[in-house]
Each structure stands twice: as structure tokens, then as C-alpha cells.
Homo-oligomer: A and B are copies of this chain.
Amino acid sequence: MSLTHEFQEDFSSRGAMDNVLSIGGAKGARHAASAIVREAQPDVLAAGNLGVTLSLSRNKTLFEEGEKADYSYRVISGAVRLCKLLPDGRRQISDFCLPGDTFGFIAEESYTLTAEAVEDTVLVRYSRQTVGEACKSFPATSERVLAEVLRELSSAKSHLIMLGRQTARERIASFLLMVLDRQPADKYCDTRVYLPMGRQDIADYLGLTIETVSRAISELRRSGIVRALSTREILIRDVDALSEISSGCA
């Protein structure tokens, strides 16, 4: 298996920066950046065999909130959901990690959220100690980690306005555009969205119920803005209309 190879390719294709706090060209689609910027400084995480590859089948838990945090991870294929649970079972998904994304960098002793596989998933695992040492010795690695965390932070803040101030219709529109934007550039045509997660996951990401998600998608379908190729595959027929809805203009 050339998983290690695949991983390296993926990692080194993502942009590094000459200054952590002024990264250029990081806007727009995550994958759009890949082609533009190239590795400039040595990054042991990217180059070395510091990580261990592992796979996780659908709905299996990788780690739970409160568990001692010894590792961070990078998604190779599949998808992982990060979520928090309330005592009574209410769930909020804070992020879907897709191929190329890293997660599990935290300041606390223990994980502050739970990580589960949305579908069958392959990951690379790094021990916290290894990452810490690599960060000390290699500024490029340290910058890479910071950049990843900053990206996650920026995404969380967009998520906040969605949950706090957008209607169900607007959240669905934003969600579809987000998944479209994060879709690997090569895969599918540029208006076809593959959703690795089920309706309950979407609901828990958007702070809605499964029924409301279903109804909102049906409504977009009825108004001709999207077409459902299957439950998990949606063709966006009018991206502009969707953008207008997502920004509250429509």
C-alpha cells in the first residue's frame, strides 16, 4: 500500500508560508491553494515517517471528549466529525475533517471534543510529543501547525454566525456551498456536491433537526436551485442563487 506516499504528496502540496502571520493566497477554496504555493522550508512532519497510518470504519469513535490527548491526526481519505455532547444527548458537530485536514491540536490535557468516522476513513496519527519536538526544531513545522489551527479558528467563527444569526434555509445554502468549496478540485464537476455525511450529521452541524434539513433541501429542489441525484449527491443548478440565499440577500 502506498498510503505513506499518498500522505506525503498530500501534505507537501499544501501551502506553507514564509511568515506565519501573513500568509498570502489562503483565501477561497482550500484546494485552490494547493496548486499555487509550494513548500519552501523543511517540514519534518511532511517529510518524515513520524506518523502511523491507521484506518477507522464508519461510525467508530477515534477519541472521546475528556480522554487523555496523546495524539493528533491527519485525514488521508474518508471523513471525520468532531462533536460535543450535552448530558441529555444533544449534539453539536463543530467540524467535518476531510482529506488533508488535521485535527487534535489542543492546549488542554484532554480532548475537548469527540472524534468519529463519518465513513470508512484512513488517518495518520502523530504523537503529541513528536509534534511538539518537531515544532521546536523546525520553524516550518511550527508555522504549519499554527496555520492549520488558524484555519480551523476562522472556520469556527464563520460557523458561529451561521448558528447564531442565519435561518434554516440560509444555513443549508451555506453548507452546500461550503462542501462544494472543500470538494477536491479534480473529483466531480464543479457543481456536483457529494455529501459524505447523513442528514442527522448535517442537522447536528447546522443546529437544526433532521426534518428541517430535509424540508429545506426539498424546498431548494422545488425552486429549481438544486437537483438531487441521490440522497448524498446534489447537483447545484444555480450557484449564484445559492450564494444569495446564503448571504441573506434573498
Interface residues on chain A, number (Cβ under 8 Å)? 59
What copy number does this chain have within its complex?
A: 2
Q: How far is the CA of A90 from the CA of B162 in the complex (A)?
A: 11
Q: Are A160 and B92 neighbours in the complex by a CB distance under 8 Å? A: yes
Additional 6 contacts, C-beta under 8 A, given A19-B129, A21-B72, A136-B139: A22-B109, A84-B158, A94-B160, A142-B146, A153-B156, A163-B207
Per-position 1/0 for A17-28, Cβ under 8 A of B: 001111110110
Q: Are B108 and A26 neighbours in the complex by a CB distance under 8 Å? A: yes
The one of B69, B90, B151 that contacts A248, using a Cβ cutoff of 8 Å: B90
Q: How far is the CA of A105 from the CA of B22 in the complex (A)?
A: 9
The one of B86, B107, B145 that contacts A151, using a Cβ cutoff of 8 Å: B107
Q: How far is the CA of A164 from the CA of B212 in the complex (A)?
A: 14
Complex contacts, A120 vs chain B, CB 8 Å: none
Which of A27, A108, A153 has its CB near the most chain B CB atoms (within 10 A)? A153
Complex contacts, A163 vs chain B, CB 8 Å: 160, 163-164, 207
Q: Are B91 and A132 neighbours in the complex by a CB distance under 8 Å? A: no
Known: A150-B107, A154-B107, A154-B112. A164 touches B92 (CB 8 A): yes
Complex: chain B residue closest to A137, CB-CB: B139
Complex contacts, A207 vs chain B, CB 8 Å: 163-165
Complex: chain B residue closest to A142, CB-CB: B142
- Kindly identify, within residues 118 to 167 of chain A, every residue whose CB is under 8 Å from any CB belonging to chain B: 128-129, 131-132, 135-136, 139, 142-143, 145-147, 149-154, 156-161, 163-166
Q: How far is the CA of A147 from the CA of B105 in the complex (A)?
A: 10
Check: A225 CB closer than 8 A to any chain B CB.
no
Complex contacts, A161 vs chain B, CB 8 Å: 84, 86, 90, 92, 94
Check: A189 CB closer than 8 A to any chain B CB.
no
Q: Are A160 and B156 neighbours in the complex by a CB distance under 8 Å? A: yes
Check: A88 CB closer than 8 A to any chain B CB.
yes
Check: A48 CB closer than 8 A to any chain B CB.
no
Check: A57 CB closer than 8 A to any chain B CB.
no
Q: Are A108 and B27 neighbours in the complex by a CB distance under 8 Å? A: yes
